[in-house]
Amino acid sequence: MTRAKARMHESRSMEHGEGPATVLAIGTANPSGAIVPQDEFADQFFRVTKSEHLTYLKEKLKRICQKTGIEKRHFHMTEDILRAHPEFLDRELPSLDARIDIVATEVPKLAASAAAKAIAEWGRPATDITHLVFCTYSGCRAPSADLQLASLLGLRHSVCRTILSLHGCYGGARALHLAKDLAENNRGARVLVACSEITLVCFGGPDGGNLVGHALFGDGAGAVIVGAGPLDAGERPLFEMVSATQTTIPGTEHALGMQVTGGGIDFHLAIQVPMLLGHSVEHCLLDAFASSAAAVGDDDAGDVAWNDLFWAVHPGGRPILDKIEAVLKLEPGKLAASRHVLREYGNMSGATIVFVLDELRRRRREEEADRDDDHQLAEWGAMLAFGPGITIETMVLRIPRAN
């Protein structure tokens, strides 16, 4: 290598972060509007949407609710909001503007609650954040929720903002993947990832085709601080983000989707989704672990027994978790963090994966406290999230030994 080339190489490496990016802090939040127990949801939903006469659909929604694995969900939507906006009940009436008026304020506010917790845990001032990656399916305006969040948190005017919209349930994982790339390629970068989802943009009366969506989705926000080395003395890595991959399952564009209409956002969830994911997931994991072996320069790192890992899987629905558990022959309890989040909050789309990571580290701390010296906790893990495409985001995670 010539001296000039060597100098260029050295200065390039000075521009990069050291080692893989790490998750440095996590925060979550839910709106204070309403908490609805799942066993009351069908009665309440048909009452507030004035659809009691549709008894067949109500019974069907009850059957669906019983099988979701959800116990309760949080919503911004209240009966007061519905009284003020009767147009939200009829998807044929124009209501998108009114919905966007509400979520344009509430989505960044909810994100700010989650982000404030993450920043407090991180321990550095919000002005040290260099990049913001915001994800939501409600981003229909510009300037958007990312700018509002930056101003609510008092971020620097020079913060580099990116908004990811309509990635659906893999949005949070996509944002984390992007944050990893940003942190590793910009020395000293501290990336705030914020995902905030409020179902008010999709709310509507029952029409038969959307019952599963009504039974599944809830509101929530998650925030994560991501940074690569060198770390500050007070910064403590929770998860190393070793490698990340994205795969689209060919020919499945129509299986999962979202569409913005004058009457709000419609979801489409094909009944085959759990089966399609089941067919593809092991392949994605093998690819991800092969790239992690390359990333850490250790050929053996690609040889994994799925039960030796910890798992952070987006709980898209109970049958999706069941299918992944069956295909990978996971021991009972391996998806406990995902099932817990589904039970307590439902599917909060892109924000859900942040809740799963938070729950995993909470469980990990309890296990650390309880374990005897001979019992080794899993060091390596896998994060999986999926959404329209069908797109699967996979990330190989590692918990540094000190944690």
**Site residues for ligand MLC per CB under 6 A:** 60, 63-64, 67-68, 168-169, 212, 216, 256, 269-271, 273-274, 316-320, 347, 349, 386-388
Minimum CB–partner distance for residue 139 and ligand MLC (Å)? 15
Catalytic residue list contains 202 = no
Cα angle at 306 between 354 and 178, to 5 degrees? Answer: 35
Minimum CB–partner distance for residue 297 and ligand MLC (Å)? 34
Task: Kindly tell me which of 231 and 327 has the beta carbon lying closer to ligand MLC.
Answer: 327
One-letter amino acid for residue 106 of the chain: E
Task: Kindly tell me which of 119 and 212 has the beta carbon lying closer to ligand MLC.
Answer: 212
Q: How far apart are CA 276 and CA 171, in angstroms?
A: 19
Catalytic residue among 169, 195, 202, 284: 169
Helix/strand/coil for 374: coil
Concatenating the DSSP letter of every residue in 219-239 gives -EEEEEEEEEESPPTT---SE
Q: How far apart are CA 71 and CA 66, in angstroms?
A: 9
Q: How far apart are CA 118 and CA 179, in angstroms?
A: 15
One-letter amino acid for residue 102 of the chain: I
Ordered alpha helix ranges (H), 264-351 = 273-296, 318-327, 336-345
Minimum CB–partner distance for residue 67 and ligand MLC (Å)? 4
Task: Kindly tell me which of 211 and 228 has the beta carbon lying closer to ligand MLC.
Answer: 211
Task: Kindly tell me which of 118 and 169 has the beta carbon lying closer to ligand MLC.
Answer: 169
- The CA distances from residue 197 to 210, 348, 349, in Å, are 18, 6, 7
Concatenating the DSSP letter of every residue in 144-203 gives -HHHHHHHHHT--TT-EEEEEES-GGGHHHHHHHHHHHHHHHSTT-EEEEEEEE-GGGT-
Q: How far apart are CA 175 and CA 179, in angstroms?
A: 6
Question: Closest residue (Cβ) to ligand MLC?
Answer: 168
Task: Kindly tell me which of 27 and 168 has the beta carbon lying closer to ligand MLC.
Answer: 168
Minimum CB–partner distance for residue 15 and ligand MLC (Å)? 35
Catalytic residues: 169
